[in-house]
């Protein structure tokens, strides 16, 4: 008989006694006198901060920079090492922040090397993914919230016969993505092949962007559509309530 099942279910006196002991241990609350515990908490927090700082400066940031074809000044990461697979070029501008852990996947579908280019002062949050077979260009001063996906290739052909034959997608299905300057992309957004997002636009949380978004537009939905225009300099209002801001440092 499985011991765990015996202890959890058996009416045997030994099993019942074991269950009483387990429940009693679960209910134990260890006292935490502040004068004794607080210094330990602070020491632990300081040790953790030093560990994360060293991991960021000595491992995560150098690993990313080493895989760039070119990068600017003050490129920073969180504490996680970004996953880069395939063969392609990464070009980062000045003051770029790739926070948390993102995936950069290059597809070798064409003679020219695929390119991921991210402009000055752009911030990319945790769990983002870039699937690059031709080119993905992100402009300057762009905010990308967590769990955003950029795919310039569908990955597989639509034709079931070609898909069964393990063929790559046709060249016309692989189209570059361009995100212009000062764009804000909310959480869980998917940007599909061939899309251009105009300057100053906002993409609401959870949108699937299948076609171009004009400059200074608020877009959302599945598939995404323009909800209204944005006038530069206008104040916020309730229309923005469903747009999620980029989150803080995922690394701690």
Q: What is the pLDDT along the chain (252 residues), one digit of tens a residue?
A: 577 777 778 888 888 888 888 888 888 888 889 999 999 999 999 999 999 999 999 999 999 999 999 999 999 999 999 999 999 999 999 999 999 999 999 997 787 899 999 999 999 999 999 999 999 999 999 999 999 999 999 888 888 888 898 888 888 999 999 999 999 999 999 999 999 999 999 999 999 999 999 999 999 999 999 999 998 776 655 444 344 433 343 333
User: Is residue 173 in some structural domain?
Assistant: yes
Enclosing domain of residue 69: 37-231
Task: Just list the catalytic residues.
Answer: 156
User: Is residue 43 in some structural domain?
Assistant: yes
According to DSSP, the residues that pair with 228 across neighbouring strands are: 218
Rounded to 5°, angle at Cα 151 from 80 and 99: 20
Query: Which 8-state DSSP code applies to residue 158?
Result: S
The total of structural domains in the chain comes to 1
**Starting from the edge strand earliest in sequence, which strands make up the sheet with 97-98, in order?**
76-77, 97-98, 123-124, 143-144, 184-185, 202-203, 217-220, 225-229
User: Is residue 240 in some structural domain?
Assistant: no
Q: Which residues touch 184 (CB under 8 Å, ≥6 apart)?
A: 142, 143, 201, 202, 203, 243, 246
The CATH number that applies at residue 164 is 2.160.10.10
User: Is residue 204 in some structural domain?
Assistant: yes
Rounded to 5°, angle at Cα 3 from 29 and 28: 5
**Rounded Cα–Cα distance for residues 220 and 223 (Å):** 8
pTM value is 0.80
User: Is residue 247 in some structural domain?
Assistant: no
User: In the prediction, which pLDDT does 140 show?
Assistant: 98
């Amino acid at each position: 008989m499985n011991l765990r099942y015996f202890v959890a279910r058996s009416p045997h006196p030994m099993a019942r006694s074991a269950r009483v002991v387990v429940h009693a241990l679960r209910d134990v609350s260890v006292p935490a006198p502040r004068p004794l515990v607080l210094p330990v908490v602070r020491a632990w927090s300081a040790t953790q901060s030093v560990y994360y700082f060293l991991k960021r400066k000595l491992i995560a940031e150098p690993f990313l920079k080493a895989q760039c074809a070119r990068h600017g000044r003050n490129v920073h990461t969180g504490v996680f090492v970004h996953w880069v697979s395939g063969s392609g070029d990464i070009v980062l501008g000045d003051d770029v922040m790739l926070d948390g852990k993102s995936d950069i996947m290059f597809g070798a579908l064409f003679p020219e090397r695929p390119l991921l280019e991210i402009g000055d002062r752009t911030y990319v949050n945790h769990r983002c993914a870039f699937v690059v077979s031709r080119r993905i260009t992100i402009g300057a001063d762009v905010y990308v919230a967590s769990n955003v996906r950029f795919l310039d290739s569908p990955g597989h052909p639509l034709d079931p016969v070609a898909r069964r034959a393990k063929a790559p997608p046709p060249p016309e299905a692989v189209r570059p993505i361009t995100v212009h300057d000062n764009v804000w992309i909310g959480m869980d957004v998917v940007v599909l092949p061939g899309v251009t997002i105009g300057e100053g636009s906002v993409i609401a949380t959870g949108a699937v962007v299948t076609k171009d978004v004009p400059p200074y537009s608020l877009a959302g939905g599945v598939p995404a559509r323009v909800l209204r225009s944005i006038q530069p300099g206008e104040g916020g209002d309730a229309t923005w309530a469903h747009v999620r801001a980029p989150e803080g440092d995922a690394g701690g």
